[in-house]
Copies of this chain bind each other. A is one copy, B any other.
């Protein structure tokens, strides 16, 4: 429904100015529980019903975090919400409300902003969150800055609780998003990459529309996971954050590869496991748990010896780091 509403918004948008623009875009977003006063006043008023809150923020900037030649505005909108939901999932919590601040070049066609909000709306519906406010300003390049408020699990799962001997579990196979991005980048000049993307649309989709594992995170929290993180910077780097915060190490011996990653790796001449270990953007959850749930993907074991090590003996690849990259 939102899509239809937004698509019928006419090119008059620009002449409405900032306030009209925000109002029009926000009107199409789904309603959510606990919103006493939604967007349009100085602040939203929210009913948190007494539970401890979770709060997290991520800022995505054109050029650094997304390439509008490879992802649509709707993809960027969707992903900007999903990566924040993923942080709440990594605490075992439930996402509730988001604030959306956007900087856009003055020349951005209103239709593109509509698409951006369509993607935001898709994610809001999927993760059952309310978009309760934000800000819209001019910028030289597109900036999407999201804050998300969630409800904490009765025992939030931090990064710092892993014990030596805990299993390292992961909620899904890894590497699809970074393999998808690498294929998308190669596709312009590499016909094989183009053909492979056509046969494996899930790879481009993994890059463009990050999944956030809310249900899996809540199940792991209920099952007593000792520590948890979402895999955003790269599996080794993120598991390394757990190790550092918990004062333990980890021995990784079995990395589940997402379907298509090996094929992509062959075409691109890259070792497949690198996508899974260092690619980033997977948004699966990695957790330390004493007794893995039935059917869990166990990727290794936490150790007293510090550091992240691979059972293969191979060197550990570095993850994504904005200021060092």
Contacts and interface: CB of A to CB of B under 8 A. Distances in A.
A235 interface: no
Contacts of A147: 55, 57, 99, 101, 147
B57 A135 contact: yes
Interface stretch (A264-272, A298-306, A316-324): A316-324
Copies in the complex: 2
Nearest to A65: B137
Interface stretch (A67-75, A138-146, A190-198): A138-146
B59 A18 contact: no
A48 B45 CA distance: 13
Given A64-B137, A145-B145, A88 B42 contact: yes
A58 B101 contact: yes
B42 A137 contact: no
A149 B53 contact: yes
A46 B91 CA distance: 13
B143 A57 contact: no
Interface in A64-108: 64-65, 87-88, 90-91, 93, 97, 99-103, 106
Contacts of A65: 137
B21 A137 contact: no
Interface in A130-181: 132-141, 143, 145, 147-150, 152, 156, 158-160
Contacts of A206: none
Contacts of A49: 50
A290 interface: no
A216 interface: no
A97 B56 CA distance: 11
A43 B321 contact: no
Nearest to A95: B43
Given A139-B64, A140-B140, A322-B138, A42 B87 contact: yes
A103 B61 contact: yes
A36 interface: yes
22 contacts: A17-B323, A18-B323, A19-B241, A21-B323, A42-B229, A43-B150, A45-B53, A45-B91, A49-B50, A55-B133, A57-B101, A57-B133, A57-B135, A59-B135, A60-B137, A61-B103, A61-B143, A64-B138, A137-B322, A138-B323, A140-B140, A147-B147
Interface of A: 14-15, 17-19, 21, 36-37, 40-50, 52-61, 63-65, 87-88, 90-91, 93, 97, 99-103, 106, 132-141, 143, 145, 147-150, 152, 156, 158-160, 228-230, 241, 245, 321-324
Instruction: Give me the 6 closest cross-chain CB pairs, A-B, nearest first.
Output: A147-B147, A145-B145, A17-B324, A43-B56, A57-B99, A59-B101
Given A48-B50, A57-B145, A57-B147, 11 more contacts: A18-B322, A42-B91, A42-B229, A43-B87, A46-B55, A56-B99, A56-B133, A57-B100, A59-B101, A59-B102, A65-B137
